[in-house]
């Protein structure tokens, strides 16, 4: 069938496919055979499942990366990781030319290619090449990184097999955090203007900016300069250990869950701390000590501390975005620049953070659908766009025009304004604008706290979170739920949104929304209100409405109790 298609193609298109060694692809593909009946979906986080089911996917994503590289005439990244998932899982995602997520049309190609049966592989590759007008004579270059999971090295070799069989060149960076691979791709595609595409280049760029910034902090002693870091037994520990001597004059870090014992993401890491509202295992916390947790691939960060009474306080992505955007706004006011700054959140952002930003800091806030690609895309619309998900994944983006303007201001303005412009210039260098990056975000936060002379409690006290609760409801088919207005309103099934509206009216300062999970047949429920008891009741009542109207299966939702869901 493939041969028939090639024979009826116009000569120019036929010659394009002569370079694709279909025989070699078939031969290699058989060595990375797809388990029959396995269907996977490329989502925001790429592909994720049990590691033993991923060999064929890795090989095929190597093929796809070569096609994407040829089409964009750029370096493409392939990252082997399952982020905050358990150690036995793994996953893969592709990184587009400027360090962004893969374009949506290519996510569809990824899903199609990963799920193709062996006999259809050639046809699917030709389809993608035709549809996307890929010039197969074009050179291709792919960079590869992996996390510390036991399965990652072998799986990244399968990616390399896919790259080489299609004639692509590659560079294997080996062990990297996910944001570091995004950085490498961005550097390589901007001719080194963004930075040097080596691990030393990454360390030096961020550390130089951090040390310059913290030199200007007026606080004495080291009370603000010591930080406990939970590395989730992941790649973050290796990279932070390599990097710490570059910035040690500005910050002393003490690493916990560094991978020397303990399993990746098990009872530790940003996701565990946020979900369970308690410190990770293996970390002793004295009162008012500043602590933070990375996730397994170091692209998320949350902060926390114990107060004098021993109560745990979480500082999540909402408060991180607030600290950063407030500081940026203050610097802009000082310099006298009226640049357009915006904060991008999802429906999961706590209502108190939105109110504080809009009403106190006068920073406009925008809401998008859940998923980093949506936030990143929206943040690009501003001169300065700050985005963070509540889970601690985020960064700040600065337009090229802003970078040029600030650089000029740092050279031309009089003393006080020049100092503020220089700070902003260093902040721009300190952010990994290619992706949310726990190491980069940590250094930004530490620099801002030092410059403003803020303790962790003062930061936490900027506003008080509204109590909230997250629950999951099992359903036969999550697709029965569709949403609009950045996932804050349910369109289907009929009657569900009306039921939610009626329930919300019963409680003060309340809101609730439901959305289908991107990965499993569950519906996620979020509720917030003026008290934890009200938030719990509202979440439970909304869960029952979902169960009744959206085809719930198994046991009826039970009232929330401590340890379930995600209160703040």
Q: How many CB atoms lie within 10 A of CB 446?
A: 24
What is the per-residue burial (b if ≥16 Cβ within 10 Å, else e) of 192-206?
eebbbbebebbbebb
Q: Is 48 annotated as a binding residue?
A: no
Residue spans of the chain under pLDDT 70: 1-19, 219-224, 519, 560-568
35-51 pLDDT, tens digit per residue, is 988 999 998 889 999 99
- Among 267, 282, 312, the domain-final residue is 312
Contacts of 516 (CB under 8 A, 6+ apart): 478, 479, 481, 482, 483, 522, 523, 524
Q: Is 488 annotated as a binding residue?
A: no
Q: Residue 566 domain-assigned? A: no
Domain shared by 25 and 140, yes or no: yes
Contacts of 368 (CB under 8 A, 6+ apart): 344, 345, 346, 374, 375, 377, 378, 486
DSSP assignment of 91-144: EEEEE-TTSPBPPHHHHHHHHHHHH--GGGHHHHHHHHHHHTT--TTS--EEEE
CATH code, domain carrying 499:
3.30.310.50
| Res 69: pLDDT | 98
Q: Residue 293 domain-assigned? A: yes
The Cα 179–Cα 131 span in angstroms is: 30
Q: What tokens were used for 277? A: 């509202």
What phi and psi values does residue 75 have, to the nearest 5 degrees? -75, 135
Q: Residue 81 domain-assigned? A: yes
Domain shared by 30 and 61, yes or no: yes
The Cα 537–Cα 527 span in angstroms is: 9
Domain shared by 274 and 216, yes or no: yes
Q: Residue 560 domain-assigned? A: no
Contact, 329 vs 118, CB < 8 A?
Answer: no
- Among 461, 494, 509, the domain-final residue is 461
102-133 pLDDT, tens digit per residue, is 999 999 999 999 999 999 999 999 999 999 99
Domain shared by 418 and 343, yes or no: yes
The Cα 30–Cα 374 span in angstroms is: 37
Cis peptide before 547 (omega within 30 of 0): no
Q: Is 482 annotated as a binding residue?
A: no
Q: Is 146 annotated as a binding residue?
A: no
Q: Is 517 annotated as a binding residue?
A: yes
Q: Residue 183 domain-assigned? A: no
Domain shared by 82 and 113, yes or no: yes
Domain shared by 275 and 216, yes or no: yes
The Cα 139–Cα 77 span in angstroms is: 15
Percentages helix, strand, coil for the chain (3-state, rounded to 5) are 45, 20, 35
In total, how many domains does the chain have? 4
CATH code, domain carrying 205:
3.40.120
Q: Residue 5 domain-assigned? A: no
Choose among 120, 101, 99: nearest CA to 2: 120
Q: Is 295 annotated as a binding residue?
A: yes
| Res 11: pLDDT | 53
Q: How many CB atoms lie within 10 A of CB 533?
A: 12
Domain shared by 117 and 145, yes or no: yes
Q: Is 440 annotated as a binding residue?
A: no
Q: Residue 330 domain-assigned? A: yes
Q: Which candidate in 69, 83, 158, 440 is catalytic?
A: 83
DSSP assignment of 179-248: HHHHHHHHHHHTTTSS--SSHHHHHHHHHHHHHHHHHT----SSTTSEEEEE-TTSHHHHHHHHHHHHHT
- Among 260, 278, 312, the domain-final residue is 312
| Res 431: pLDDT | 94
Domain shared by 303 and 413, yes or no: no
Q: Residue 186 domain-assigned? A: no
CATH code, domain carrying 429:
3.40.120.10
| Res 173: pLDDT | 98
Domain shared by 30 and 167, yes or no: yes
Q: Is 515 annotated as a binding residue?
A: yes
| Structure letter (DSSP) for residue 540 | H
Is 207 tagged catalytic? Answer: no
Q: Is 467 annotated as a binding residue?
A: no
Domain shared by 123 and 210, yes or no: no
Could you list the residue range(s) of the whole structural domain that residue 428 is in? Answer: 317-461
Domain shared by 330 and 434, yes or no: yes
Domain shared by 359 and 449, yes or no: yes
């Amino acid at each position: 069938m493939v041969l028939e298609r090639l024979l009826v193609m116009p000569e120019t298109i036929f010659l394009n496919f002569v370079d694709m060694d279909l025989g070699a692809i078939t031969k290699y593909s058989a060595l990375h055979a797809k388990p029959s009946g396995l269907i996977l979906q490329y989502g925001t986080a790429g592909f994720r499942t049990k590691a033993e089911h991923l060999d064929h996917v890795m090989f095929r994503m190597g093929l796809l990366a070569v096609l994407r590289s040829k089409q964009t005439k750029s370096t493409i990244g392939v990252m082997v990781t399952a982020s905050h998932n358990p150690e036995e899982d793994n996953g893969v995602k592709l990184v587009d030319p400027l360090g962004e997520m893969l374009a949506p049309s290519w996510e569809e190609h990824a899903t199609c290619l990963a799920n193709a049966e062996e006999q259809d592989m050639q046809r699917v590759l030709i389809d993608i090449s035709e549809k996307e007008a890929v010039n197969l004579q074009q050179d291709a270059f792919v960079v590869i990184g992996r996390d510390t999971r036991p399965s990652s090295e072998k799986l990244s070799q399968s990616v390399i097999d896919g790259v080489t069989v299609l004639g692509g060149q590659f560079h294997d960076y080996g062990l990297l955090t996910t944001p570091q691979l995004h950085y490498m791709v961005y550097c390589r595609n901007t001719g080194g203007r963004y930075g040097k595409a080596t691990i030393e280049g990454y360390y030096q760029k961020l550390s130089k900016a951090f040390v310059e910034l913290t030199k200007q902090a007026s606080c004495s002693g080291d009370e603000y300069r010591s930080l406990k870091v939970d590395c989730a037994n992941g790649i973050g520990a290796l990279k932070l250990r390599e990097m710490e001597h570059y910035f040690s004059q500005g910050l002393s870090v003490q690493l916990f869950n560094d991978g020397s014992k303990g399993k990746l993401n098990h009872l530790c890491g940003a996701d565990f701390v946020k979900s369970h509202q308690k410190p990770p295992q293996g970390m002793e916390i004295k009162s008012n000590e500043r602590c933070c947790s990375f996730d397994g691939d170091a692209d998320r960060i949350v902060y926390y501390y114990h107060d004098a009474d021993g109560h745990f306080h979480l500082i999540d992505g909402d408060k991180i975005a607030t600290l950063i955007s407030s500081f940026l706004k203050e610097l802009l006011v000082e310099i006298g620049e009226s640049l357009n700054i915006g904060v991008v959140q999802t429906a999961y952002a706590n209502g108190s953070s939105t109110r504080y930003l809009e009403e106190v800091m006068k920073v406009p806030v925008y809401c998008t659908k859940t998923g980093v690609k949506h936030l990143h895309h929206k943040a690009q619309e501003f001169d300065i766009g700050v985005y963070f998900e509540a889970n601690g994944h985020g960064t700040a983006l600065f337009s090229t025009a802003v970078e040029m303007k600030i650089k000029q201001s740092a050279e031309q303005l009089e003393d006080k304004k020049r100092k503020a412009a220089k700070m902003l210039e260093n902040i721009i260098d300190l952010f990994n604008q290619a992706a949310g990056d726990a190491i980069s975000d940590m250094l930004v936060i530490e620099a801002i706290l030092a410059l403003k002379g803020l303790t962790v409690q003062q930061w936490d006290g900027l506003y008080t979170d509204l109590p909230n609760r997250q629950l999951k409801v099992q359903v036969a088919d999550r697709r029965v739920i569709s949403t609009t207005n950045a996932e804050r309103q349910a369109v289907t099934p009929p009657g569900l949104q009306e039921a939610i509206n009626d329930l919300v009216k019963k409680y003060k300062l309340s809101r609730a929304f439901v959305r289908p999970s991107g990965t499993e047949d569950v519906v996620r429920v979020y509720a917030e209100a003026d008290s934890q008891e009200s938030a719990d009741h509202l979440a439970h009542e909304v869960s029952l409405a979902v169960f009744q109207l959206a085809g719930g299966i198994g046991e009826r939702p039970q009232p929330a109790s401590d340890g379930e869901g995600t209160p703040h």
